[in-house]
Amino acid sequence: MNIFLLAVGTKMPDWVTQGYNEYAQRLPAKCALVLKEIPAEKRLKNSNINAITEKESEKIKAAIPNNCRLVVLDVKGKSWSTEQLATRMQDWMMGGQDVALVIGGPDGLSNDILSIAQEKWSLSALTFPHPLVRVILAEQIYRAYTVTENHPYHRAG
């Protein structure tokens, strides 16, 4: 199974790339994490935010690989513990589809993308900078994978 991380934004700081790669590279080929960056639309002082999120959503839809389960990160989504994420990943793997995880731009995702998602996942009630979400997501995917493999990386009591 491939897990495609579709993230709005390009040209991340080195620490983001290094942090993301640290965890993505730990995953085996049977559960690969593949980053697809989506260029963000330019935002000006008087930009039409709805039009911007619609344009970004069109780019996201075009980047979703065929036959993927679509999971969007959304503040209104369901919050999962590490163990629940591990169970979701096992379900995804058993389902035989690749998964596309979507991180929207600074203004979130359009209703169009939200409406076609099979799942909505909230990392936290807190707001994180989008570059940091890439690193958190990669680490959590790796952590959940280690739970499925009874690896000692995750040592929750």
Domain residue ranges in the chain: 2-155
Q: What is the pTM of this model?
A: 0.93
Helix, strand or coil, per DSSP, at residue 120: strand
- What average pLDDT score do residues 62-69 get? 96
Q: Which bin fits 108, alpha (ψ -120 to 50), beta or left (φ > 0)?
A: left
Whole-number pLDDT of residue 151: 87
Residue of 51, 52, 36, 101 lying closest to 74 (CA atoms): 101
Which residue numbers belong to the known binding site? 73, 104, 123-128
Give the residue among 140, 116, 142 at the shortest CA–CA distance from 128. Answer: 140
- pLDDT band at 155; cut points 50, 70, 90: confident
What's residue 156's pLDDT? 62
Q: Which CATH architecture has domain 2-155?
A: 3-Layer(aba) Sandwich (3.40)
Binding residues for S-adenosyl-L-methionine: 73, 104, 123-128
At 20-54, the pLDDT tens digits run 999 999 999 999 999 999 999 999 889 899 999 99
pLDDT digits (tens, 9 = 90+) for 101-131: 999 998 999 999 999 999 999 999 998 898 9
Phi, psi of 121 (to 5 degrees): -120, 130
- Give which of 19, 64, 66 is closest to 38, Cα–Cα: 64
Angle (nearest 5°) at CA 19 between 13 and 25 = 125
Residue 157 in this model has a pLDDT that exceeds 90 = no
Among 2-6, 14-18, 44-48, which is the least confidently predicted range? 44-48
Q: What is the mean pLDDT of the chain?
A: 94
Mean pLDDT over 91-105 rounds to 95
